[in-house]
Amino acid sequence: MAEEIAAVIQRFRGAEKDRAEIVHPLVRDPVLRNLIVIWPMIPVTCSAPRTPVPEAENEQWFWLWENVKYDHARLADFLKVDRAKLSRLIDRAIAFRLIYPDGTANSMAVQFVKQDIAKSLSKKGHQA
């Protein structure tokens, strides 16, 4: 079952470049950008799903997330948000496919955040 999960995740990763618009929510949401940075640092486990892989792509995406576990309190603490806001944030990140159930983040989202950080640091360097 682990190979099956990895294969489905890989199919979604392969389609990232076709969905550049998914980084749009990151433009105005610094907490969501922080999630992209922090998500890979949080231990995430994904136990074997109890049902077979669905046919529809959208159903496959949510099927992957059915048995994902992570430390909500630790992630909320890192992001400096309460648990309710964290839940909404994770739901948005999942819906936009910004994070993966294996503890990684969408490569286009990571690239966007890196560029945003570099731009921010560059501006600060010119002000000093």
pLDDT, tens only, 46-67? 888 888 899 999 999 999 999 8
pTM for the model stands at: 0.88
Sequence ranges of the domains in the chain: 2-127
Cβ-based neighbour number of residue 26 at 10 Å = 21
The rounded distance, in Å, linking the Cα atoms of 83 and 13 is 28
Average pLDDT over residues 74-96: 96
Reported as a single tens digit per residue, the pLDDT across 19-46 is: 778 888 999 999 999 999 999 999 999 8
